[in-house]
Amino acid sequence: MSTASPVVGVLALQGDYQKHRQMLDRVGVSSCDVRTADDFSRADRLIIPGGESTVIADLLRRFSLQETFSAYIRSRPVWGTCAGMILLAARVNDETVNPYGVIDIDVDRNGYGRQFFSDIRPGHMQLDGVDHRLDLVFIRAPRVTRVGDGVAVLLTCDGDPVLLAQNNVLVSAFHPELTDSVLLHRYFALTFAAEVTA
Amino acid sequence: MAEHKDLMTVKIGLAEMLRNGVIMDVTSAEQAKIAEEAGAVAVMALERVPADIRAEGGVARMTDPAIIEAIKKAVTIPVMAKCRIGHFAEAQILQALEVDFIDESEVLTPADYENHIDKHPFRIPFVCGCRNLSEALRRIGEGAAMIRTKGEAGTGDVSEAVKHLRLINKQIKELTVLSKDELPSRAKELAAPLDLVIKVAGLGRLPVPNFAAGGVATPADASLVMQLGAESVFVGSGIFKSQNPARMARAIVTAVAKYDQPLELVKASRGLGASMKGRSVAGISEEELLHTR
């Protein structure tokens, strides 16, 4: 498949998937909702949006999508934001969610506390040799408590890793889709893990 | 900590995370567990479901903190709670309890018939009910991060929620075809803030998520309100007043995820047992109606 004009799928079972679609429209790449096994085959890349990880995991089971999803996230570029990050992690501090274990990190669900502690924090990161300023929107966010050897930390906030990558998997504890900046959506759609899709 | 404008992003952000989900009324830790296992995206912690509030009468107030705390402990999903319209002291208590969302709700007896709560100073987001665009925009102007239809709570009759959704959609469409110089007088007619009227005219939708509530009792009801443009569904009495709450709850979650797939809705609707008995809105006297509050 061509990397020049990828179709970015957004898992559309529950959560703020429309927000991700709007960001991808602004980047100028094709995107689609992913709800069925057939939809997975149409997507070159996949975003797992924010929402409730318990519900998204439940609906994957309920609609018999577990195997298709599991195979996809082991072979194609995927990006999990917030709830999506929880689903992709190796371990979660909470037996209500069984994560799929495609990135070697442990996470603490709602590790920063309840909604009262949700906040926006400033972040800086280098991408393609350029410095970027980012608003990091944390909403009942998961906290990374362990980072495995093969995992790259791309951004930290107040000492915690909040954007990480391993092979074909990108995860963020925050919500770029709720900001004005399309930086990370452009990066994921066009640059991230290009060798996997080549 | 972030200032007001930033807080709105965080408040509306949580509402966005709840999209395409089901928020269920629960009155105990045990019910909250049932709701979470059935796939609820959040629970509303109450002392009595609206059907019982309606049947028992009297003044309905904020839930006992002990019940809210027990429910918070029982589940990992967001926990909402209701305060009376205009009762900012109840809202302050709910914020101190660290609930995740506050519903300034007409289901409880209003504390102030003139003013709603100024919701901007709170860190916790608010959801408010509305029957039309005028109410929706005033509530957003006061700082609501989510809007829901009022419907007619505790009836199991979806007709008021349908009426409110259709009216809001129609009034938004009307705004989008007005020219710029017609918007100020329309804002005056709506008794709504002009900046919000201009924003909605440009967006073609509300600037915050718009959920359905009030009388949703079956998977088909959930599909109906989703097809009419609701972005999530609140189910009050419809689950724990049905014959088999766990199955009804699970079926309504499936119905919201597959709201436009009739074959999936057949599967979800089959053999659920009796849904809540309910009461037709047409048979309720003017004084008993909640949505006029």
Domain of residue A175: give its range. Answer: 7-197
pLDDT beyond 50 at B263: yes
Pairs of CB atoms within 8 A across A/B:
108
Cβ contact, residue pair A118, B10, below 8 Å: yes
Cα distance between residue B40 and residue A14, in whole Å: 11
CB contact set of B78 (below 8 Å; sequence gap of 6+): A52, A114, A115, A140, B14, B18, B41, B42, B43, B100, B101
In a domain, A140, yes or no: yes
Q: What pLDDT, on the 0 to 100 scale, is given for residue B184?
A: 98
pLDDT beyond 80 at A3: no
CA distance A18 to chain B (A): 9
Whether B254 and A62 have beta carbons less than 8 Å apart is answered as yes
As given in the structure block, the two tokens for residue B153 are: 């709570």
Q: What pLDDT, on the 0 to 100 scale, is given for residue B2?
A: 53
DSSP string, B136-150: HHHHHHTT-SEEEE-
Whether B40 and B249 have beta carbons less than 8 Å apart is answered as yes
Cβ contact, residue pair B13, A52, below 8 Å: no
Cα distance between residue B38 and residue B216, in whole Å: 17
Using an 8 Å CB-CB cutoff, list chain A residues near B20.
12-15, 17, 51
Q: What pLDDT, on the 0 to 100 scale, is given for residue B171?
A: 98
3-class DSSP string for B164-205: HHHHHHHHHHHHHHCCHHHHHHHHHHHCCCHHHHHHHHHHCC
The pLDDT tens digits for B2-51 are 556 679 999 999 999 999 999 999 999 999 999 999 999 999 999 888 88
DSSP one-letter code for B230? -
Preferred mutation among B7, B10, B226, B233 to probe A, highest tally of A CBs within 10 A: B10
Cα distance between residue B218 and residue B19, in whole Å: 19
Q: What pLDDT, on the 0 to 100 scale, is given for residue B283?
A: 84
Beta bridge partners of B94: none
In a domain, A62, yes or no: yes
DSSP one-letter code for B27? S
In a domain, A19, yes or no: yes
Number of structural domains chain A divides into: 1
In a domain, A1, yes or no: no
Cα distance between residue B64 and residue B230, in whole Å: 30
* CATH (domain of A99): 3.40.50.880
Q: What is the phi-psi region of residue B103: left when phi exceeds 0, alpha when psi lies from -120 to 50, beta otherwise?
A: beta
As given in the structure block, the two tokens for residue B1 are: 């900590």
Interface residues from chain B to A (CB-CB < 8 Å): 1-2, 6, 9-10, 12-14, 16-21, 36, 39-42, 76-78, 95, 98-101, 123-125, 253-254, 257
pTM of the predicted model as reported, rounded to 2 decimal places: 0.95
Question: A37-46, B161-170, B210-219, B270-279 — which is least confidently predicted?
Answer: B270-279
Using an 8 Å CB-CB cutoff, list chain A residues near B257.
13-14, 59, 63
What ipTM was estimated for this complex? Answer: 0.94
Cβ contact, residue pair B9, A83, below 8 Å: no
Nearest to A139 among B17, B42, B77 (CB): B17
pLDDT beyond 90 at B53: no
DSSP one-letter code for B212? B
Using an 8 Å CB-CB cutoff, list chain A residues near B99.
114-115
Cβ contact, residue pair A15, B95, below 8 Å: no
Q: What pLDDT, on the 0 to 100 scale, is given for residue A1?
A: 45
- Calculate mean pLDDT across residues A106-132: 92
The pLDDT tens digits for B107-125 are 999 999 999 999 999 999 9
Cα distance between residue A17 and residue B37, in whole Å: 23
Cα distance between residue B131 and residue B126, in whole Å: 17
Q: What pLDDT, on the 0 to 100 scale, is given for residue B4?
A: 60
CA distance A7 to chain B (A): 23
Whether B12 and A113 have beta carbons less than 8 Å apart is answered as no
Preferred mutation among A21, A39, A55 to probe B, highest tally of B CBs within 10 A: A55
Cα distance between residue B163 and residue A190, in whole Å: 45
Cα distance between residue B90 and residue B65, in whole Å: 11
Q: How far is CA B71 from CA A83, A113, A145, in A?
A: 22, 16, 27
Q: How close are the terminal C-alpha atoms of chain A, in Å?
A: 7
Cβ contact, residue pair A96, B76, below 8 Å: yes
Residue indicated by tokens 């916790």: B124
Active site residues of B: 82
Cα distance between residue B285 and residue B139, in whole Å: 27
- Calculate mean pLDDT across residues B243-266: 96
Cβ contact, residue pair B21, A62, below 8 Å: no
CB proximity A145 to B under 8 Å: no
Cα distance between residue B240 and residue B254, in whole Å: 17
Cα distance between residue B151 and residue B207, in whole Å: 21
Nearest to B2 among A52, A94, A120 (CB): A120
The pLDDT tens digits for A54-113 are 999 999 999 999 999 999 999 999 999 999 999 999 999 988 899 999 999 999 999 999
Q: Is A175 assigned a catalytic role?
A: yes
In a domain, A113, yes or no: yes
Using an 8 Å CB-CB cutoff, list chain A residues near B1.
119
In a domain, A136, yes or no: yes
Buried (b) or exposed (e) across B52-85, using 16+ Cβ within 10 A?
bbbeeeeebebbebebbbebbebbbbbbbbbbbb
To the nearest 10 degrees (0 to 180), the angle between helices B245-257 and A53-62 is: 90
CA distance A4 to chain B (A): 31
In a domain, A2, yes or no: no
Element (DSSP H or E) covering residue B17: helix B4-17
Cβ contact, residue pair B76, A109, below 8 Å: yes
- Calculate mean pLDDT across residues B54-81: 95
Q: What pLDDT, on the 0 to 100 scale, is given for residue B3?
A: 56
Cβ contact, residue pair A52, B77, below 8 Å: yes
In a domain, A135, yes or no: yes
